[in-house]
Structure 1
Amino acid sequence: MIIGIGTDILQIERLQAAYDRTKGRLAEKILGPDEMLVFQHRLARNHKRGIAFLATRFAAKEAFSKAIGLGMRMPMAWRSLQTLNEPSGRPVTSYLGTLAQFMQEKNWEAHVTVSDEQDMAIAQVIVTQKIRGSDE
């Protein structure tokens, strides 16, 4: 059963400006620890791709907060949701702290997709009720 759907789109240039204005601290505020490692690696290899990664993760967190119906209020916090990629490239969510407990108690799971193209980044999240007895 679908619990909620969230979408977010943003101009990468605006995120770049905020990143520059905060001297990079924006990434520390937004990204979880595993996301931060990926971001730093991508940023070092190609600055533009690193910022696009940051933008898609920002969009995923915004979309997720809409899908669960809470916005950016506890248990949702910027760093408590991580969007990482499986070896196949498929984006998947992981939860930290009270958000992990919240998702487990509700028996919810999130399905996420992210994309970026030149100057825009977008994410969509669908939160569903897990089927009892399922391992996913």
Structure 2
Amino acid sequence: MAVGVDLVEVARVRSLLEDNPAAETELFTTREIRYCADKRNRYARLAARFAAKEAALKALGTGVGPGMRWTDVEVVNDPLGRPRLRLHGTAAQAAGAPGSWSAELSLTHTGDYAMAQAVLLLPPAADEPAVRRTATDEGSPCASI
């Protein structure tokens, strides 16, 4: 399991997009732009999606590095309106084979801030032990906490 969290100032996202209109298509997919276009609080919704991308990339442990594009991480909504992650390109490769990972995503925003938390259940890495010790395991110095 991997967790990523990100907090974004809505005003910074708004300023970036107003000062550089081309940034919108560098950061967001057509589907994300379309979803936010007709909504109240457009910039807060875009900021929440940007935070979700950051949170997902933190959980993947990749960040936006070589070959990774912001649009490789997409926020879509399921039929009930819940936000979901859809990974493309390098992000999809980092997550593993299709069907081998799952994710939960939570978004929230106010007038000033947008936040996202991504929880990814990823397949274990080849060099990762199958069982991990936790603080509650017997013999752990933290077991009594």
Same fold (TM over 0.5): yes
- Following TM superposition, the consecutive aligned residue runs of length 4 or more in structure 1 with deviations greater than 6 angstroms are none
2:91 partner SS: helix
Q: Looking at CA atoms only, which structure, 1 or 2, has the larger radius of gyration?
A: 2
TM-score (norm 2): 0.75
Which residue is 2:140 aligned to?
none
Please list every run of 5 or more consecutive structure 1 residues that lacks an aligned counterpart in the other structure: 131-136
Kept in 1, the 8 Å contact 2:60–2:94? The answer is no
Give deviations 1:41-87, integer Å, cap 9, x for gaps: 33xxx4xx111111001000111111111111256420011111123
Please list every run of 5 or more consecutive structure 2 residues that lacks an aligned counterpart in the other structure: 124-145
Q: Which moved more, 1:4-13 or 1:90-99?
A: 90-99
Cα pair distance change 1:19/1:95, threshold 3 Å: same
Which residue is 1:83 aligned to?
75
Residues of 1 paired with 2:62 and 2:90: CA distance? 14
Cα pair distance change 1:74/1:127, threshold 3 Å: farther
How much does 1:109 deviate? 2.2
Which residue is 1:64 aligned to?
56
Which residue is 1:111 aligned to?
104
Which residue is 2:142 aligned to?
none
TM-score (norm 1): 0.79
Residues of 2 paired with 1:129 and 1:62: CA distance? 17
How much does 1:105 deviate? 2.6
1:125 partner SS: strand
Give the aligned length: 122
Residues of 1 paired with 2:106 and 2:27: CA distance? 18
Equivalent position to 2:90, from 79, 98, 117: 98
Cα pair distance change 1:84/1:102, threshold 3 Å: same
Residues of 1 paired with 2:80 and 2:69: CA distance? 27
- Would you tell me which structure has more helix in proportion to its own residues? 1
Residues of 2 paired with 1:51 and 1:124: CA distance? 18
What percent of counterpart residues are identical? 29
Residues of 2 paired with 1:76 and 1:61: CA distance? 11
- Would you tell me which structure has more strand in proportion to its own residues? 1
Cα pair distance change 1:122/1:67, threshold 3 Å: same
Alignment of 1:1-136 (within 5 A): 2=1, 4-22=2-20, 24-42=21-39, 46=40, 49-74=41-66, 76-105=68-97, 107-129=100-122
Residues of 2 paired with 1:98 and 1:72: CA distance? 10
